[in-house]
Chains A and B, each alone.
Chain A
């Protein structure tokens, strides 16, 4: 066992973990934070995306011990209880989800994308989310949600591209 100390959603944590424990399992099973989903479990689908030190990462391919001393943010930590982060609000306004399984990962990838590029073009949103799969194929509204979140007014995006 290895002791890790890290910050998760603003709270200091200190836990004994097996070195082989994946970050996504640490979050879900040790901390009970179930937003990050295990989808493909092979670094492809992005459903497990969280922020580690401000950057989007796939938590199925990070060991909990690699996150030691780091700062992890999951979808639960984006906004105070009962409130929505602007990206979450934009997903709701624009119906940026269907079944919802990919949504926490999409939202976290989008938050990471907008931190690096606050005003992306539609093309940059599409390539910026290339690490996240929506098997409902609801990409159109997801992209519109991110564009809406990025716009100064926060108004629902209306542009429809061919």
Chain B
């Protein structure tokens, strides 16, 4: 499968990338690792006229701290985030989620910014960001704005990111030593989650239970009111209407959400 023809520009800096995006608007797409975008282009579901390659911009890669937040540059590759001692100490759920993406080759190329911008509700990192209560740092012609994970994911493959904006970094609260759980149900190695659940610090996020990663709010409220993990998890599917596909019908997904949420609240990974 061959993508439709496009022009290619290797951005020399984030500023240069932003200038190209301002000039070309919706006709341009940002390329980093390409592991979400290129498959779409090969299927011709995406046919951008210009690719702005930010994949070599070191200024956008790396894991640091800023006050009480862990800051992950947008072009940080999954393998590097998974291996980051800082991320593993300060936001272990995030490092773990990065290690669950795809397979080793995919983790060598794919970036956190790419996965979040792609906004697949079955993906690991969007669910992790919602569970962590993180925020996306978006740079545009008018400056930089922060959008919470709860507001960033707006629909299936839709985010708050505007055509002239660049996702430059991701911020999550530092929570060293805080218990967390992460559950991803798949039939085969390296598949997308049929359902996923991640829990930390009273927040619960679900993957593949709707058009975006979702908060299990009824379960969160029960937890806050003192319910046991099992009793709270029984409410995890409340208000959800997940899609049906070859892997699972709606009721099965709702069942999985309850089971996986209980395991996540019991701080299990798997």
A interface residue numbers (CB < 8 A to B)? 2, 18-20, 22, 41-44, 46, 49, 52, 55-58, 61-63, 65-66, 68-69, 109, 112-113, 127-128, 130-132
The 7 tightest CB contacts between A and B, nearest first, are A131-B103, A19-B8, A55-B108, A130-B189, A20-B3, A131-B105, A58-B105
Q: How far is the CB of A106 from chain B (nearest CB, A)?
A: 12
B190-A61 in contact (CB<8A): no
B190-A65 in contact (CB<8A): no
Assess whether B225 is interfacial by the CB under 8 Å rule: no
Q: How far is the CB of A63 from chain B (nearest CB, A)?
A: 7
A63-B104 in contact (CB<8A): no
Q: A46-B103, A55-B79 are in contact. Are A19 and B51 (CB under 8 A)?
A: yes
Q: A43-B39, A55-B79 are in contact. Are A20 and B104 (CB under 8 A)?
A: no
Query: For chain B residues 187-214, which have a beta carbon within 8 Å of chain A?
Result: 189-190
Interface CB pairs A-B, < 8 A, 18:
A20-B2, A20-B3, A20-B5, A22-B2, A42-B42, A43-B39, A55-B79, A55-B108, A56-B108, A57-B105, A63-B8, A63-B34, A65-B10, A109-B104, A109-B105, A113-B104, A130-B103, A131-B106
CA distance A144 to B98 in the complex (A): 28
Q: How far is the CB of A111 from chain B (nearest CB, A)?
A: 12
Residues of A within 8 A of B108 (CB): 52, 55-57, 112
A112-B3 in contact (CB<8A): no
CA distance A122 to B108 in the complex (A): 22
Assess whether B88 is interfacial by the CB under 8 Å rule: no
A65-B53 in contact (CB<8A): yes
CA distance A36 to B103 in the complex (A): 18
Query: For chain B residues 1-52, which have a beta carbon within 8 Å of chain A?
Result: 1-8, 10, 31, 34-35, 38-39, 41-42, 51
Interface centre among B31, B38, B103, B104 (most CB of A within 10 A): B104
Q: How far is the CB of B217 from chain A (nearest CB, A)?
A: 34
CA distance A110 to B154 in the complex (A): 40
Interface centre among B5, B8, B189 (most CB of A within 10 A): B8
A61-B109 in contact (CB<8A): yes
CA distance A66 to B53 in the complex (A): 8
A131-B4 in contact (CB<8A): no
Known: A57-B108, A112-B108, A131-B105; 10 extra A-B contacts, CB below 8 A, are: A42-B39, A42-B42, A55-B79, A57-B109, A65-B8, A66-B55, A69-B56, A109-B104, A112-B104, A130-B103
Residues of B within 8 A of A58 (CB): 105-106, 109
A130-B39 in contact (CB<8A): no
CB closest residue in chain A, given B2: A20
Residues of A within 8 A of B106 (CB): 43, 58, 131
CA distance A100 to B2 in the complex (A): 25
Interface centre among A44, A66, A132 (most CB of B within 10 A): A66
B interface residue numbers (CB < 8 A to A)? 1-8, 10, 31, 34-35, 38-39, 41-42, 51, 53, 55-56, 79, 102-106, 108-109, 189-190
Q: Which of B4, B39, B55, B56 contacts A61 (CB 8 A)?
A: B39
Q: A61-B39, A63-B34, A130-B103 are in contact. Are A20 and B109 (CB under 8 A)?
A: no
CA distance A20 to B5 in the complex (A): 6
CA distance A6 to B107 in the complex (A): 22
Q: Which of A18, A41, A128 contacts B104 (CB 8 A)?
A: A128
Q: Which of B2, B7, B34, B190 contacts A66 (CB 8 A)?
A: B34
Q: How far is the CB of B187 from chain A (nearest CB, A)?
A: 13
Q: A61-B34, A61-B109, A65-B53 are in contact. Are A131 and B2 (CB under 8 A)?
A: no
CB closest residue in chain B, given A41: B1
CA distance A18 to B10 in the complex (A): 14
CA distance A63 to B5 in the complex (A): 12
CA distance A63 to B190 in the complex (A): 22
